[in-house]
Chain A
């Protein structure tokens, strides 16, 4: 591990500074994408459970599109293809973005929307797991569709799907590594750079592996704490178990 405290070839700092920087990009990308995924995923998931009309079908198209194309291909789409098919001025503006933003922004959008498709399916499953009488009771009390979902159905659905959301939350950290292919120097790319500068492969990737492990454990602890704190006697299936 002495590698971490050796000076980098540019002479500005030590390798551990590179690791910190890579970690910061990984965490920013994961948390930003998670917010997008939760918001979009909830909306699409709700659309999938509406009783009829165009919205369930649009939701289906969204889910099938984003979950059936490999993450790497989607990453390339947002980075290489989208600027070409947009109006020339907009495309140019995107291409002229300075790094690291030129890689960060497409990666954020890509990872957010891919994870949203997965969360949408979980939200749908959670809502559909509720007794139909809950909708009837909410309607009978005068709730409109918005209030019914916001106050009655989603709070129950999210408790049911929390264990699978934990899974998604841990996955999104790991999936950020794909952003290295479009030039974002996140954690995995940092390991590669350290390796290329020092040829100390084991140490470079070893450190990064441990960092990923710690992140995963922290993410899991956070979700476990949330599960425990929203646990109810009435929704046993949504409860965290030891």
Chain B
């Protein structure tokens, strides 16, 4: 489904991605983890072209993304993305947030888009809030709207860039529950997250990044029980200490 091969990227003299290679099969859930500044967010943003790449190529379905490819409408239609800071559109109601791309980008009729939006908002447990504005919702609710907004375009792949990092602890689970049920329904997902419980229980595989490299790729159970690299061992020791 997704194939990342020999992808590199630099900001000036700082190389943020170093020859990254990864494959994600259809229906697979892959978690990217690693220390701060290791390039996780940058890597996931290259998959839908939000970050350009300097070398290598990325295949998403039939779409080939390479350096200097600029027409990404088709790619973005098949890849949904959820951001750390939600990025709902504050001037639009919850319902409009979920319908606007359907009606304006996919040109769906308004009635069809609203029906879809209502169904998705029900699925993430927010039917009671469709007329509200984003600022009237809690962080967890906003993030669930953001997930519904991305799903409204019927993506084949969902990208999650630290979806729970900006949330209060008691709201983390409501978002993880939605992500878990998505995974169970067979959605192809790539998640940058520090939620090791989610990684262990839901992910098929873990990509461990450090210093811009993909250091280790392993099944979730193997990664947590018997990490191969020293850097992964050190990382896990740090984050699982308490």
A236 closest partner in B (C-beta)? B135
Contact B104 A133 (CB under 8 A): no
A152 closest partner in B (C-beta)? B89
A139 within 8 A of B: yes
Known contacts being A131-B85, A141-B153, A142-B77, is A147 close to B105, with CB within 8 Å?
A: yes
Q: How far is the CB of B32 from chain A (nearest CB, A)?
A: 17
Contact A137 B104 (CB under 8 A): no
Q: Which residues of chain A from 101 to 137 have a CB within 8 Å of any chain B CB?
A: 131, 133-134, 136-137
- In the assembly, what is the distance between CA of A147 and CA of B135, in Å? 23
- In the assembly, what is the distance between CA of A133 and CA of B76, in Å? 16
Q: List, in ascending order, chain A residues with CB within 8 A of B80's CB.
A: 140
Q: List, in ascending order, chain B residues with CB within 8 A of A87's CB.
A: none
B76 closest partner in A (C-beta)? A142
Known contacts being A133-B85, A143-B104, A147-B105, is A156 close to B91, with CB within 8 Å?
A: yes
Contact B100 A133 (CB under 8 A): no
* Interface bracket on A: 20 to 34
Q: How far is the CB of B92 from chain A (nearest CB, A)?
A: 8
Q: Which residues of chain A from 127 to 185 have a CB within 8 Å of any chain B CB?
A: 131, 133-134, 136-144, 147, 151-152, 155-156, 159
Contact B133 A141 (CB under 8 A): no
Number of A-B contacts (CB under 8 A): 71
Contact B83 A233 (CB under 8 A): no
Q: List, in ascending order, chain B residues with CB within 8 A of A147's CB.
A: 104-105
- In the assembly, what is the distance between CA of A70 and CA of B145, in Å? 51
- In the assembly, what is the distance between CA of A156 and CA of B91, in Å? 6
Contact A133 B105 (CB under 8 A): no
- In the assembly, what is the distance between CA of A138 and CA of B105, in Å? 10
B101 within 8 A of A: yes
A235 within 8 A of B: yes
Q: List, in ascending order, chain A residues with CB within 8 A of B136's CB.
A: 233-234
- In the assembly, what is the distance between CA of A69 and CA of B149, in Å? 48
Contact A137 B105 (CB under 8 A): no
Q: How far is the CB of B93 from chain A (nearest CB, A)?
A: 10
Residues of B within 8 A of A (CB): 45, 48-50, 73, 76-77, 79-81, 83, 85, 87-91, 100-101, 104-106, 133-136, 149-150, 153
16 A-B pairs whose Cβ atoms sit less than 8 Å apart in the complex: A131-B87, A134-B87, A137-B83, A139-B76, A140-B48, A140-B76, A140-B79, A142-B153, A143-B105, A147-B104, A151-B104, A156-B90, A156-B91, A232-B135, A233-B135, A233-B136
Contacts A147-B104, A233-B133 known; list 16 others, CB within 8 Å: A136-B45, A138-B89, A139-B76, A140-B48, A140-B50, A140-B81, A141-B105, A142-B73, A142-B106, A143-B101, A143-B104, A143-B105, A151-B104, A156-B89, A235-B90, A235-B91
